[in-house]
Every structure is written in structure tokens, then in C-alpha cells.
Chain A
Amino acid sequence: MPPAGVAAPLEVGVTEKIFLSATGQPVVALRDLSFSMAQGEFACLFGPSGCGKTTTLRILLGLDRDFSGSYRLPGGEDARIAAVFQEPTLLPWRTVEQNVRLVLPKARRDTDLDGLFEALGLAGMRALYPGELSLGLARRVALARAFAVEPTVLFLDEPFVSLDERTAQRLRTLLMSVWSARPTTALMVTHNLHEAMVLSDRIVVLSPRPGHVAGLFDIRLPRENRSPQVISDLMRSFHEKFPGHGTP
């Protein structure tokens, strides 16, 4: 838990989340999961497969209301939420540009998106349909859509999974350049420790099921100083602090 008194605009306090398995057996997915994030912080939710990372994200996105406990988002009731899902989830029957504009509030539908498309390298692709894009490009469009709404809180659910490492690396750089231009509170689910080390200010480490916070790992170094050498030092101290976690 962070020290008391620190402003914490995103607070999570899930007491319990139970699934019914296919055979009707109750499975406890989360128990006493609580953490908080400061305004403008980029945090990663890190843990083994099946520990409830995506479940936590779905609860915070308001897609799963069947849990006990509570949470608070930055901005309160009129928080602008944006999400990048595991799959790009673009509407295949709308062009790249239409996909992005569709999620904007009505008053901002005609806003100038040139800068955003330019920054993500999508300038020449606004009139294409998602089916004409590679997975990497479709993921960029999903990022563009999320940043276009200028969210008060951004959720990312393994947005770079099933990409080759070079493309993923390029997308992480793009994500960071767009995010840094307007730092918003962001929570990203990942099971890639290296990715978490490169991107985040703080890693929230989850235990195996039932998921709860096993500990926090703060990275206070500016991102531009995180050379491969620094990252491997960080990895070493992470493994000392959380033995058994994050071994590839």
C-alpha cells in the first residue's frame, strides 16, 4: 500500500470476485485486492496467467459489476475512460478515421486529429478499413482511438500481445511518446516483466489466484535513462524482492 496521505485519484478495493466455472463450481478470482495510483502515473498490473489481471480491468472499466467491494476513478462520475483491449476491437465496417471519431463526444466529432494520426504513423491510412491493416497497425489505431478522447484514465489490457518483438518495441515507443505529451493516469495489464520495466512508474504485482496485491515495485528513474543495463539491474532487484515472480 502507498503511504497514507498521498493523493490517490484511482483507488481499487475489491473485496471479492467469484466466478462460476463451467461445472457450476464457484471460483474465487480476486480476494482483498486493493491498490491506488497517483494522478498522471503509469502503472502496470503484473502477475501470472489467470491471476485476475483482466478481471480487475473489466471491473474498473465498468464491464463487470458482479463483485463485492468498491473502486474510484480519477474524475469521479464524469471520468472519461479509454481502453485498449487485447484485440484491437475496431469496427471492420468503418474506416480507420471513422473508428476513431465514433468514440469522441458529439461536440468534438470534427476535432482536428492530424497530429494524433501523424504521431502514430497512421496519416496515410485514415481511409482504410481495419481488414486492410496488419495487426500492428490495427493496434496503433486502437491506441489512436484511446488517446483521441483525451481520457482522464486509460486502461490497457496487454495491448502488444502476439506481435513480434520489433513491432511491439516500436509500439511501446509510440505509446510512450503519445502518453508523455499529455500524461494521464494509465493502468496497463501485462505478463511481460521487461515491458513493465520499460513503461511504468510502478508495477503492481499480483499473486496467483485468488488475486491480491503481492507487493509494489516503484521505478523512479526517468524513462529515457532506462538503458538495457539499467533494465537488467531493475530485473535483478525485482527478482530479489519477488522470488518466483516474473520468471520467463
Chain B
Amino acid sequence: MTPREPGPTTTTAARTGTAASTLMPALTVAVSLLGLGLVWWVTANGWHSRALPTPAAVWQTLVSEAANGDLFYHLGATLARVVAAYVVAMSIGTAIGVFLGVSRRADRFFNPWLILFLNIPALVFIVLAYIWFGLNEAAAIGAVAMNKIPNVVVTLREGARAFDPAYSDMACVYRLSRMERIRHILLPQLQPYLAAASRSGLALIWKIVLVVELLGRSNGVGFQISLYFQLFDVAGILAYTLAFVAVMLAVEFAMVQPVERYATRWRRRTA
């Protein structure tokens, strides 16, 4: 063990330490992604085939699709479906989850249903929705939401079980209105569970939206991928995939994380 160093030296050391510790993760991510690109480039150059285009070829497809506007049209269609399905799944799933979390009898009765729905494959929901409700937008979004709702219910049920009765006693004594209870007591207690359901939800939903588009819509990233599949155009498939992954990353950094930072501001300050 070294003895404690005098003040100035310690602070300088600490400062360089924090600078390095904020820079290192970003650097690691960059190097890691570059490495992946390098592996792709080497493999594609070694194995000359239409089945594995080089990063440059994919980039060219991406640029030309962006230039003629197709890319943004299909990205927009998919993104709109993701948002719609997310909103429907989160609101219905939260309502059911909270209900099952606070009512033990309802939970005992509906738990088998929940397990059943959790285990129905996404494809089955999609096919049945198209058969029953036709090849339309509502059926597509409903099918995606149905896939996500059981997950939201399970997460939010845990959240509702963890409610602190002291807060509802306080709300009862001071006669808070129903809306005030939801806004100031219920939602803040559910926040970590809502964040968890949102995180896993967005990733799951956008993957299922692609399947829905492939099976029964005439636009969107899923539709384009099925088109390029028939043309055996791997560069097109990869270009659309990477473009949509980029969109979802932007959503994560520009929306999900700032919202979460705002919702947990009281926690950071106390830490």
C-alpha cells in the first residue's frame, strides 16, 4: 500500500484518470466496430461471391437507395409501424400487468392464459391476424403488439407487486385524485419496469415488424428485404438492415436514454 499522497498530486492523477475513463469506452467501441468491418472485408475479398458483398458494395447500394428516396420511404413505413405497435403494446400491457400485479385472484386465474400467450410463436399471431382481419395495417400492427403484450404484462406485474403500500396510505389520507395517484405515485414506482419493458420491447418489435411486412405489406424494410431475397441481392438486404439498425440506435440515444435520464434525475443526485 502506498501512503496517501499530498493534495495537488492526487487531484491531477484523479483528473487524468476520469478523462481516460470517459474516453476509453468510446474508443473501445470504435476499435471493435472497425475490427468487425475488417473481418467482413477480408472474408468478402477472399470469398468472391454474390452471396457476400464487400462493405464498399453495401455502402454503394445504400447511397443509391438513399438518392432515389426509396430508403427513406421504406424506413419511414417500418418506423411508423414500430412506433404504433410499441405504443399499443406498452399501454395495453401496462394496464393488464398492473391489474394482475395488484389483484392476486385475477393473477391466479389469468396466469395460465399469460403462459399460453407467451409461448405462441410470433408467426402464428401474424398469420392468424392476416386471416381473420385481412391484409391491412391494423392487422399488421395488432399482430406485432400481440407478440409483445405478454412480455410487458410479465414485467409490469412484477412492478405492481413491488408497490409500497405506505405511498397509497399517504395518498388515501391526503385524498389525492385518481389522476394524481397515477402521475405522482403509480408511474414513478413503475418507471424502472417500464424502462426494462421498453428496452427489450423496441428490439423485439422491430424484428417482428419485418416479418409482418414480409408476409403481408407492400412497403417497409421487411418488404424490401423479401424483394432483394427474390433477386438474390445480398447488398440490398444488408444495406436496408444496417440502415434500420442505425435508426434504432438513434432512437436509443436520442430518445430512450434522455427520457430515462430525466426520469431518474432524483436518483442520480442522491447517489
Tell me, in angstroms, the Cα distance from A103 to B184 when the chains sit together. 11
Question: Contacting A103 at CB < 8 Å: which of B174, B191, B266?
Answer: B174
Chain A min CB distance to B151 (Å): 25
Q: Is A85 a contact partner of B170 (Cβ separation < 8 A)?
A: yes
Which residues of A sit under 8 angstroms from B169, Cβ to Cβ?
61, 63, 85, 89
Q: Is B173 a contact partner of A61 (Cβ separation < 8 A)?
A: yes
B180 at the A interface (CB under 8 A): yes
Which residues of B sit under 8 angstroms from A83, Cβ to Cβ?
170, 173-174
The majority secondary structure among interface residues of chain A is loop
Tell me, in angstroms, the Cα distance from A89 to B165 when the chains sit together. 10
Central interface residue in B170, B184, B266, by most chain A CB within 10 Å: B170
Q: Is B174 a contact partner of A132 (Cβ separation < 8 A)?
A: no
Which residues of A sit under 8 angstroms from B180, Cβ to Cβ?
102
Tell me, in angstroms, the Cα distance from A39 to B90 when the chains sit together. 51
Q: Is B173 a contact partner of A131 (Cβ separation < 8 A)?
A: no
The majority secondary structure among interface residues of chain B is helix
Report B182-217 residues with CB < 8 Å from chain A CB.
184-185, 188, 191
Which residues of A sit under 8 angstroms from B270, Cβ to Cβ?
92, 129, 131-132
Interface residues on B, range: 10 to 19
Report B234-271 residues with CB < 8 Å from chain A CB.
266-267, 269-270
B167 at the A interface (CB under 8 A): yes
- Identify the closest chain B residue to A148 (Cβ): B174
Tell me, in angstroms, the Cα distance from A148 to B52 when the chains sit together. 71
- Identify the closest chain A residue to B180 (Cβ): A102
How many A-B residue pairs lie within 8 Å, measured between CB atoms?
A: 53
Q: Is B172 a contact partner of A63 (Cβ separation < 8 A)?
A: yes
Tell me, in angstroms, the Cα distance from A87 to B175 when the chains sit together. 19
Report B143-187 residues with CB < 8 Å from chain A CB.
166-167, 169-170, 172-176, 180, 184-185
Chain A min CB distance to B270 (Å): 3
Report A137-168 residues with CB < 8 Å from chain B CB.
145, 149
A14 at the B interface (CB under 8 A): no
**Chain A 83-109 per-residue mask, 1 if CB under 8 angstroms from chain B, else 0:** 101010101111000000011000000
Which residues of A sit under 8 angstroms from B266, Cβ to Cβ?
92-94, 129, 131
A45 at the B interface (CB under 8 A): no
Q: Is A87 a contact partner of B166 (Cβ separation < 8 A)?
A: yes
A82 at the B interface (CB under 8 A): yes
Tell me, in angstroms, the Cα distance from A145 to B267 when the chains sit together. 22
A62 at the B interface (CB under 8 A): yes
Tell me, in angstroms, the Cα distance from A83 to B169 when the chains sit together. 10
Which residues of B sit under 8 angstroms from A63, Cβ to Cβ?
169, 172-173
Tell me, in angstroms, the Cα distance from A61 to B167 when the chains sit together. 14
- Identify the closest chain B residue to A102 (Cβ): B184
A81 at the B interface (CB under 8 A): yes
Chain A min CB distance to B66 (Å): 43
Q: Is A91 a contact partner of B185 (Cβ separation < 8 A)?
A: yes
Question: What are 5 A-B contacts defined by CB distance under 8 Å?
Answer: A81-B173, A91-B184, A103-B176, A129-B266, A149-B174
- Apart from A81-B175, A91-B185: 4 A-B pairs, beta carbons within 8 A: A62-B173, A82-B174, A92-B270, A103-B174
**Chain B residues engaging chain A, CB cutoff 8 angstroms:** 166-167, 169-170, 172-176, 180, 184-185, 188, 191, 266-267, 269-270
